[in-house]
Structure 1
Amino acid sequence: MNEIALYSACCSLWLYLLAVVIRRKLQCVCDDRMDGKTVIITGGSDGLGKATAFNLARRGARIIITCRDWQKGLAVKQEIEMKTDNSEIILKKLDLSDYTSVQKFVDRIVKTEEKVDVLINNAGIGIGSTVNKNGHPIIFATNHLGPFLLTLSLMDLLRKSSNPRIVFVSSVGHRWGHIEFDTIETEDGGSVPAQFRAYTQSKLAQILFMKELHKREHKNGFSVFSVQPGTIFTGIFRGFPWLLKLITYPLFYLILKTADEGCQTQVHCSVSSGLEIYSGKHFTECRPEEPILPANHQQIAEDLWEYSEKAVGYLSKKSSNIQPYYEEASIHYFTSYLDDFRQR
């Protein structure tokens, strides 16, 4: 019996090592450089954002990474500069759930940057039962409304690029998402199921926004993509007890991606030449993939755009200039629009 157990253990170990050896490491095969290009990466101080910043820094890009934790962001900035020998790494503070913070960030960028070539809307959260200053659920505000406001506010700078690109980091979770305008402002709710619904809804909203933005701006030279990075082995697992880590980490290593692997699709959409013909597409594993059917619903995308404009207190004009209405005004517009939308 002991010999059988030993033999089984040895076979299992060899099979595991074989799986590790043949495990496919997804890499963006494009070797295009980004010298002279300015890239903004939200949430660039950890996880996918940090890995993306490292990759693009090695390609010579001038990178603006945003963060909420200044000290953490400063450490990452210094690490990237040291390991990539790229001194063009700029750190800016930004809280996407706070629309005033978004506007202050944009005001600073407009003063310092002549153009922006690539905007990567990477930052996001998966849990949260609170609301922001404007009364919007924190998950939907951080994952969709904040990036919506940021993107519209940076359009003029992006237009100054010869090949502007915008990338939205969505999730496989969009497949369980439903845009329910009646419950957007209460979806977080506090319970785990409610937060999951809020998360999946926000990830579907990102794809819908991407498609509507493509429809409006592709004729002006914009290339717009959404990406699905896959399931990533990140710091979320660090809190596991050591015994659980011992059991789960070998399996996680095989079935989950590292942050460096997970960022490859957004790197691909940011740097690869010739992707302009795929603008408006959803990407996974560095290739176009069809999202769920509601993500292609044009009327929902148009309604979501209008809804989001009112929610963040911004109204975009045909000239692409945008007029701000802050704080209490945005709550007023959001509430009045919601009432009006329910009556349709």
Structure 2
Amino acid sequence: MELWLLTIPVILLILLKVYLKMMAGVCKSDKSMEGKVVIITGANSGIGFQTALELAKRKAKVIMACRSVERAQKAAEKIIKSSGNRNVIVQQLDLSSLKSVREFASRIVSSEQRLDVLINNAGATPTPGLHLTEDKLELQFAINHFGHFLLTNLLLDLLKKSAPSRIIVVSSITHLWAKLDLDNLNCEKYVRDPYWIYCSTKLANLLFVRELAKRLDSTNVTVNALHPGGVRTRIARNARWFIKYIIVPIVYPFLKTAKSGAQTTIHLAVSDEVENISGEYFVDCEKYWTSRSAKDDEKARKLWELSEKLTGMSAKESAFPQIS
């Protein structure tokens, strides 16, 4: 009897794992991406790598925008070998540096005739403490929001030229716990724990998508955000010890593989059914609800204006110079 009681939790955990696997979204589209050009930030590992691999298999020209060229080249070699598609390009991009973002965008505009899909995938969580970039931006906000904000604006003309085209932003369900203080994005007033900063950057992603979708109305360029699910990646490698060594090992068996976590990104990149959908948030390849904070139009507008200011965006660089 006692042995049976001990097996009940094990059975329940197994059933939970099976349920989570069954409920995980899968991209059902078999659409080819031949002739399409795709940029993926942070494509050398995790869901970015799996997204790049799948789109390469669909014959897209894949541009891997990564901070480490060496690691990206090794990842590109694996993708080429697995997909048989040699049109996989590595370009250096450090999202924590506005100079690097501008240099990358300039190279793309000069070398590419079209851009069909921009996937803002890269993300980071640093160790506790104050981390400011060379531009005096808080490191997580620089990588997770400001860098992608600037990059997207600099590439919008090419995306419009290639329309119908798509912008995809990898956010997170952690936006539900975010408190986005627009007066403290760069820890001007106080330093927050990296986890709570991460949550705030993910809320910033959704507000960015909301505002951008309004500005792109009638352009045939869509923008959507997504939560990939809990995924077995290395994003928690700098987390506090109790998260890294206690929480993560407990939940690890129930997390998605990177391949499974990439499915919603792939769905948004290729599926015909989302062709005319913009400004939405997806989970497991389905439209999903967001927090009230993520629907705050006034905050979205203010964040946009502040992002323009903090990235030093000139009127020439902005795709919407006349919009206040």
Could you tell me the TM-score, scaled by structure 1's length? 0.82
Deviation at 1:9, TM superposition (A): 6.9
RMSD between aligned residues: 2.9
Q: Any idea what SS the aligned residue of 1:225 has?
A: strand
Deviation at 1:251, TM superposition (A): 5.6
Q: 1:294 to 1:8 in 2, by over 3 A?
A: closer
Matches within 5 A, 1:142-291: 142-186=143-187, 193-235=192-234, 252-253=252-253, 255-291=254-290
Q: Within 2, Cα distance between the matches of 1:301 and 1:266?
A: 23
Matching residue of 1:134: 135
Q: Within 2, Cα distance between the matches of 1:36 and 1:318?
A: 27
Matching residue of 1:41: 40
Deviation at 1:32, TM superposition (A): 1.1
In the TM superposition, what whole-angstrom CA distance separates every residue of 1:261-284 from its partner, at most 9, and x where no partner exists? 111111111110131332111111
- The 8 Å contact of residues 188 and 195 in structure 1, kept in 2 or not, is answered as no
Q: Within 2, Cα distance between the matches of 1:319 and 1:204?
A: 22
- The 8 Å contact of residues 43 and 122 in structure 1, kept in 2 or not, is answered as yes
- The 8 Å contact of residues 153 and 318 in structure 2, kept in 1 or not, is answered as no
Q: Give the number of aligned pairs.
A: 314
Matching residue of 1:107: 106
Matching residue of 2:122: 123
Q: Any idea what SS the aligned residue of 1:157 has?
A: helix
Matching residue of 1:298: 297
Deviation at 1:160, TM superposition (A): 1.8
Deviation at 1:187, TM superposition (A): 6.5
Q: Any idea what SS the aligned residue of 2:169 has?
A: strand
- The 8 Å contact of residues 188 and 194 in structure 1, kept in 2 or not, is answered as no
Q: Within 1, Cα distance between the matches of 2:280 and 2:199?
A: 19
Q: 1:212 to 1:321 in 2, by over 3 A?
A: closer
Structure whose CA Rg is larger? 1
Query: Partner letter of residue 31 of structure 1?
Result: D
Which sections of structure 1, spanning at least 5 residues, go unmatched?
323-344
Could you tell me the TM-score, scaled by structure 2's length? 0.87
Deviation at 1:112, TM superposition (A): 1.2
Matching residue of 1:29: 28
Query: Partner letter of residue 37 of structure 1?
Result: K
Which sections of structure 2, spanning at least 5 residues, go unmatched?
none
